Amino acid sequence: MRNKRDIRLTSRPGRAAVLAFHLCLSLASGRAVAQASRPAEAAPSPSASPAQPIAPAPAGPSAVVNENHPIVVAGVGLIGGSKDRAWLKLQSAPKTFKGKPIDPNYIGGPIVVDMPMVRGGETYRLYTPKGVVGSGTGSKVAFQVDGAGNEFHRVKIKPAAKGTPKWLFAINGDWDAIPRPLKTTKKGYAIDVDGDGREETIRVRTTQEKLANAGASGQGESDAEAQSQNNTKVVTFTLEMNGKSSRLMQLTVDGTYTEQYQVAAIDLNGDGWLEFVFTTGGHNDSLEVVDVARGKPETVLSTYSGD
Ligand SMILES: [Ca+2]
Ligand SMILES: [Ca+2]
């Protein structure tokens, strides 16, 4: 069984080129491994003020909103959704092909599937990390499973975003998903997570991983593995909020199997709290959405593709 945290598994080509996608917004997803969902009622911590009213973002009066608010990420694809602010896992989303449920052992595709989370025709707002950059209409889901068991849920959105944004989120919802920017600071990042007017700090700490066999030429160990062990760094993200610190995420970056990572802060479920989205790219790709609205960081949606 694969462990999505184990990022030294494969020699598949990196996804950097996919992340740097261009005008055509063809979106595919890795296997969804949503780990937890939370109740429909968002529960801000008692010490925080309620989130500020959300400013409207342009989408137009004719916007088609699905109550399951699908979320599509460029280079990754459909990652899940939310209903009444509760997270909806892609993994557990039912889907059918020609009226019949998809065989759990299905390999192949792409096939256009029917699923409640994405019916086709939804209006998406398109965001870079700085804010909304446009809107478009999404297709149904083209579903594909490769030989390594990676599931892909492609959603095409037209018109595509202009330019070559490094990051793009497409959300079917009527809220402004990036009401406050993620700022880079000496410590790491700063952002007002809950909208109470006070910025929180995200401290970033990078350490060289100490491995027992680092630098040694282990038996049966490939050159790439030995090299990656020597270059491996562990990056830890800690949220400082309301006088307490909590670990948001820890990423292992070895420069070979995981070449780079990205961090974004975006309100994917419309509750006024910003989630943190961490992605890694390289031979394997992963994405994790961390929600802090319940007082402690919780990974609510995630995807992985590799082999
Ligand atoms: Ca705050
Ligand atoms: Ca949120």
Tens-digit pLDDT profile for residues 149-193: 999 999 999 987 666 565 689 999 999 999 999 999 999 999 999
What's the CA-to-centroid distance between 284 and ligand 2, angstroms?
A: 27
Tell the residue number behind the tokens 């780079």, with chain if given. 260
What's the CA-to-centroid distance between 295 and ligand 2, angstroms?
A: 13
Torsion-angle region of 80 (φ positive above 0: left; ψ -120 to 50: alpha; else: beta): left
Residue type, position 263, single letter: V
The answer to whether residue 10 sits within a structural domain is no
Residue range of the domain that includes 228: 16-305
What's the CA-to-centroid distance between 96 and ligand 1, angstroms?
A: 42
Number of domains in the chain: 1
What is the pLDDT, as a whole number, of residue 221? 55
- SS3 assignment for the chain: CCCCCCCCCCCCCCCHHHHCCCCCCEECCCEECCCCCCCCCCCCCCCCCCCCCCCCCCCCCCCCCCCCCCEEECCCEEEEEEECCEEEECCCCCCEECCEECCCCCCEEEEEEEECCECCCCEEEEEECCEEEEEEEECCEEEEECCCCCEEEEEEEECCCCCCCCCCEEECCCCCCCCCCCEECCCEEEECCCCCCCCEEEEEEEEECCCCCCCCCCCCCCHHHHHHHHHCEEEEEEEEECCEEEEEEEEEECCCCEEEEEEEEECCCCCCCCEEEEEEEECCEEEEEEECCCCCCEEEEEEEECC
What's the CA-to-centroid distance between 200 and ligand 1, angstroms?
A: 5
What's the CA-to-centroid distance between 120 and ligand 1, angstroms?
A: 36
- Name the pairing type of β-strands 275-282 and 285-291: antiparallel
Query: Could you say which ligand is closest to the alpha carbon of residue 271?
Result: 2
Query: Could you say which ligand is closest to the alpha carbon of residue 273?
Result: 2
The answer to whether residue 132 sits within a structural domain is yes
Both tokens of residue 66? Answer: 């699905």
From first to last of the 307 residues of the chain, give the pLDDT tens digit. 344 443 333 333 333 333 333 223 334 444 444 333 333 333 333 344 444 444 444 556 689 999 999 999 998 899 999 999 999 999 889 999 999 999 989 999 899 999 999 999 999 999 988 888 889 999 999 999 999 999 999 999 998 766 656 568 999 999 999 999 999 999 999 999 999 999 999 999 999 876 555 444 445 556 655 555 667 999 999 999 999 999 999 999 988 788 889 999 999 999 999 999 999 988 889 999 999 999 999 999 999 988 6
What's the CA-to-centroid distance between 70 and ligand 1, angstroms?
A: 27
The answer to whether residue 186 sits within a structural domain is yes
The answer to whether residue 141 sits within a structural domain is yes
The answer to whether residue 9 sits within a structural domain is no
The answer to whether 143 and 104 are in contact (CB under 8 A) is no
Query: Could you say which ligand is closest to the alpha carbon of residue 277?
Result: 2
Query: Could you say which ligand is closest to the alpha carbon of residue 269?
Result: 2
What's the CA-to-centroid distance between 173 and ligand 2, angstroms?
A: 12
What's the CA-to-centroid distance between 167 and ligand 1, angstroms?
A: 24
The answer to whether residue 223 sits within a structural domain is yes
What's the CA-to-centroid distance between 216 and ligand 2, angstroms?
A: 46
The answer to whether residue 116 sits within a structural domain is yes
The answer to whether residue 82 sits within a structural domain is yes
Query: Could you say which ligand is closest to the alpha carbon of residue 195?
Result: 1
What is the pLDDT, as a whole number, of residue 4? 41
Question: What's the start-to-end Cα distance of the chain, in Å?
Answer: 11
Question: For the whole prediction, is pTM greater than 0.85?
Answer: no
